[in-house]
Amino acid sequence: MKTRIQTAPRLVLLAAGLSFGASLPAPAQTSSRPQPVCIDQVGPFTYLVRVSNPTRLQGEVQLVKMSNNKVLYQQYSRGTVFGNRLNVQELADGQYAFLVKVGKQTYNYTLDIHSSRDRVARLGSVSTTALAAAD
């Protein structure tokens, strides 16, 4: 299975028909303030979601399956820093989203999970004595 994560600064309505799988360019920073949300891939199928919330606004982290809007993971917090490490290895192939809310701001990070098989041909070694014995 392979995973690909894309970022977008604001939540685009799920019904708007996003083109998942297409890369979205990261927006230019308009201020020197750091983004309050950080998602890092820390393993093959493991993501660390971190949220900075210095004003202690209501915060929420969700992992949502896009095909049916089913919430697979949800966490609420008013802490100054919150988040979690999420392993997505057992999820079926498909489109998912990390939705992070801090106060009125919403951040959407899409995740594409798909399996692939590599077709490989390998030549084994055969001794000449084995070929002679077969004749």
Please give the domain boundaries of the chain with CATH numbers for all domains.
Answer: 2-118 (2.60.40.3080)
> Residue type for 131, please?
L
For 14, the token pair is 């799920």
Q: What is the pLDDT of residues 76-112, one digit of tens each?
A: 999 999 999 999 999 999 999 999 999 999 999 999 9
Q: Count other C-beta atoms under 10 Å from residue 23's C-beta.
A: 9
Residue 66 has pLDDT above 60, yes or no: yes
Percent of all residues in the chain with a pLDDT value above 90, rounded to a whole number: 57
d(CA 6, CA 19): 11
Q: 115: pLDDT confidence band, cut at 50, 70 and 90?
A: confident
For 133, the token pair is 């014995």
Between 26 and 43, the more confident residue is: 43
Percent of all residues in the chain with a pLDDT value above 70, rounded to a whole number: 61
Residues facing 3 on adjacent strands: 113
> Residue type for 64, please?
V
Least confident interval from 20-24, 40-44, 48-52, 60-64: 20-24
For tokens 């939540």, the residue is: 11
Q: Tell me, what's the pLDDT at 11?
A: 34
For 33, the token pair is 């303030």
d(CA 100, CA 107): 5
SS3 14: helix
Q: Chain centroid to CA 103: how far?
A: 22
Q: Count other C-beta atoms under 10 Å from residue 16's C-beta.
A: 7
The number of helices, as runs of H, and strands, as runs of E, in the chain is 1, 8
SS3 134: helix
